[in-house]
Amino acid sequence: MQIRLYQPADLPELRRITVEGFEGIAIDQNVERQLGIVGGHDWRWRKARHVDEDCEANPTGVFVAVAEEDGKVLGYISTRLDREGRKGRIPNLAVDKAARGQGVGRQLIEHALEYFRREGMAFAMIETMVNNPVGQHLYPSCGFVEAGRQIHYAMKL
Ligand SMILES: CC(C)(COP(=O)(O)OP(=O)(O)OC[C@H]1O[C@@H](n2cnc3c(N)ncnc32)[C@H](O)[C@@H]1OP(=O)(O)O)[C@@H](O)C(=O)NCCC(=O)NCCS
């Protein structure tokens, strides 16, 4: 496995891995369960759009894990930098179903943390849904400490 910088040609695969991976743990899917489809777009469209936004906002902070043999995309991690506040944030992380449980997610996180250090960040943040047991195991085991829980409310207009 290799971790390399994102290239625009990766985007369709990153979107696919994300939409597939976030089934059952996407906040927009919860909203959709409560309100139905709103604004003419379903949660999959909204989640895929997060990936587009990440790649637009900080393309040199999106890292892609690829298989050594054939270059197949295994997963990715996106990041944002708050240079003034010296905070690095990880908005999205996903690994293809077929490649999970082999340490790809952990290596992507470590890669992002190294990037944050290089860029002078003083701390890093990542969040996970309460119904995502993998995040709640993986993030503390990478060194993150729980800092709070948030409740999301939604209403139709
Ligand atoms: C989260 C995700 C990126 C992890 O990728 P991965 O390559 O499988 O991660 P790793 O193999 O490095 O580590 C997974 C860890 O979770 C553990 N794990 C797997 N299933 C678990 C479960 N149901 N409950 C608790 N821990 C679990 C593994 O044992 C491993 O821990 P270990 O290294 O201590 O043994 C991947 O599962 C994924 O894409 N999920 C869907 C999208 C998602 O949840 N993204 C993050 C949103 S916050």
Question: What pLDDT score was predicted for residue 47?
Answer: 98
Whole-number Å distance, alpha carbon 59 to ligand 1 midpoint, is 24
Question: What pLDDT score was predicted for residue 94?
Answer: 98
Whole-number Å distance, alpha carbon 80 to ligand 1 midpoint, is 21
Domain-embedded: residue 90: yes
Question: What pLDDT score was predicted for residue 113?
Answer: 98
Rounded Cα distance between 67 and 75, Å, is: 10
Residue-wise pLDDT for 38-77, tens only, equals 999 999 999 999 999 999 999 999 999 999 999 999 999 9
Dihedral of CA 22/27/29/33: which sign?
Answer: positive
Which band of pLDDT confidence, cut at 50, 70 and 90, is reported for residue 30? very high
CATH number at residue 137: 3.40.630.30
Domain-embedded: residue 56: yes
Domain-embedded: residue 85: yes
Question: What pLDDT score was predicted for residue 139?
Answer: 98
Question: What pLDDT score was predicted for residue 29?
Answer: 98
Residue with CA nearest ligand 1 atom 43: 94
Which band of pLDDT confidence, cut at 50, 70 and 90, is reported for residue 144? very high
pTM of the model: 0.97
pLDDT above 70 as % of the chain: 100
For the chain, the first-to-last Cα distance in angstroms comes to: 46
Whole-number Å distance, alpha carbon 133 to ligand 1 midpoint, is 8
- The parent domain of residue 47 ranges over 2-141
Atom of ligand 1 nearest to the CA of 107: 12
Residue with CA nearest ligand 1 atom 15: 138
User: Does residue 136 contact residue 128 with C-beta atoms inside 8 Å?
Assistant: yes
pLDDT above 90 as % of the chain: 100
Does residue 131 line the site of ligand 1, with CB under 6 A? Answer: no
Domain-embedded: residue 57: yes
pLDDT, mean over the chain? 98
* CA-based nearest residue to 74, from 86, 65, 83, 87: 65
Question: What pLDDT score was predicted for residue 4?
Answer: 98
Does residue 27 line the site of ligand 1, with CB under 6 A? Answer: no
SS3 state of residue 1? coil
Please tell me the total count of domains within the chain.
1
Per-position DSSP letters for 67-134, written without gaps between them: -TTT--EEEEEEEEEETTTTEEEEEEEEE-GGGTTSSHHHHHHHHHHHHHHHTT-SEEEE---TT-HH
